[in-house]
Homo-oligomer: A and B are copies of this chain.
């Protein structure tokens, strides 16, 4: 039988990263490719204790829950956001299956085929896939290490009348950059002026190395709560397997998203949501995040010091101020997709950077994850990688 799929499926593209990861998982390869948090730092005992509390609360804990999410967890999320300057009502907070689902549900209720989304370039690949799956056209905005450039942003808003602007302003994936406060304000001002929504994706904001600097979420600057959808997740700060993220934003948008959530899966796992509530209540999450910051910073510096050993000018990168990624540029003629094949043979992996681009892909870029591997494995993997970078066979 021939299957006739929905018209929009012509926009589906399997993730190249995902295919790379499946290859890498075989054998003895040290992977700096995936965006995984450090397993060795997972608070396993505390998580188990939290689940015990769920079961101790009785059989009612195993029943269906509310589409909006487990109310005490949403109260805890409300408090967590308030500490970042985002003040919103509990009714305005929806728990989701990771922030990926928040990106998907928001896209579902806002995008019609042909609508335009403005993004950074490069940016999070799986968000691009979602936007395209709803038929959106993606247009990139010029930017530098501080965020989108004002003039180019205004020009493109006026030219394309976008449905929304997608940004990861704090320790971005893939390039690890953080927007300065001026650029955050400029984006919001332009969106207020031209009545455009912002989708602020903030999975990494907690993982900040330098405590002296403050990077307020753009949602915290949007006092009227009219222009910013803000999504984050506990996947990076607690554990990914819980698959618990959340989204908040303007009331009419949240009402529509909640309807979409109900159709999508009725509600996310309520056992996990209850466990997360007990974990946030009884576990020192802030202390845990402090520890992650210290460890991830340490791992980043090991990786950075290896890169420093390379001949100056051959590779360039900017030391990240947080997050999970180091973004490296080689010389213009380098093709990091070919380099990956060589690296995997030597037992180390990264993600070639080209696929993160909306347009004008830079084939000489690659992304290194420093959070997942232990310090010893980072050393082992970087020994291998530096060897490949200094003695590339192809080119």
Report A's interface with B, CB cutoff 8 A: 1-9, 12, 14-15, 18, 34, 36-37, 39-40, 42, 44, 47-48, 51-52, 55, 58-65, 67, 96-98, 100-101, 104, 108-112, 115, 126, 129-130, 133-134, 163, 195, 197, 226-227, 235, 239-243, 250, 252-253, 256, 259-260, 262-272
Q: Which of B12, B47, B115, B263 contacts A133 (CB 8 A)?
A: B263
Given contacts A44-B55, A259-B14, A262-B126, A241 and B271 within 8 Å (CB-CB): yes
Q: Is the Cβ of A39 less than 8 Å from the Cβ of B12?
A: no
Which of B42, B250, B263 sits near A62, CB closer than 8 Å? B42
Contacts of A58 in B (CB 8 A): 44
**Contact B240–A129 (Cβ < 8 Å):** no
Contact across chains for B100 and A264 when beta carbons are under 8 A apart: yes
The reply to whether A112 and B6 contact each other, CB–CB distance below 8 Å, is yes
Taking a contact as CB atoms closer than 8 A, the residue among B3, B40, B61, B269 that contacts A250 in the complex is B3
Q: Closest chain B residue to A67 by CB distance?
A: B18
**Residue from B39, B51, B252 within 8 A of A59 (CB atoms):** B39
Q: Is the CB of A263 within 8 A of B63?
A: no
A265-B62 in contact (CB<8A): no
How long is the Cα–Cα vector from A100 to B15 in the complex, in angstroms?
A: 25
C-alpha gap A60/B12 in the complex (Å):
31
Contact A59 B40 (CB under 8 A): yes
Task: Pick the contact of A269: B8, B55, B97 (CB < 8 A).
Answer: B97
Q: Is the CB of B243 within 8 A of A269?
A: yes
Contact partner of A36 (CB less than 8 A), chosen from B14, B44, B63, B109, is B63
| Closest beta carbon of chain B to A190's beta carbon, Å | 14
Q: Could you say which residues of chain B place their CB within 8 Å of the CB of A115?
A: 6
Q: How far is the CA of A48 from the CA of B51 in the complex (A)?
A: 8
Contacts of A240 in B (CB 8 A): 62-64, 270
A2 touches B195 (CB 8 A): yes
Q: Which residues in B have their C-beta under 8 angstroms from that of A42?
A: 59, 62-63
What's the least CB distance linking A324 to chain B, in Å? 13
Alpha-carbon distance between A226 and B2 when the two chains are bound, in angstroms: 9
The 5 sampled A-B contact pairs (Cβ below 8 Å) are A42-B63, A97-B269, A104-B263, A240-B270, A242-B271
A48 touches B39 (CB 8 A): no
Given contact pairs A44-B59, A48-B55, enumerate 19 new A-B contacts (beta carbons under 8 Å): A1-B226, A1-B250, A2-B195, A3-B253, A6-B112, A12-B256, A42-B59, A42-B62, A44-B55, A62-B242, A64-B240, A65-B241, A96-B265, A97-B269, A104-B265, A126-B263, A268-B269, A269-B272, A271-B272
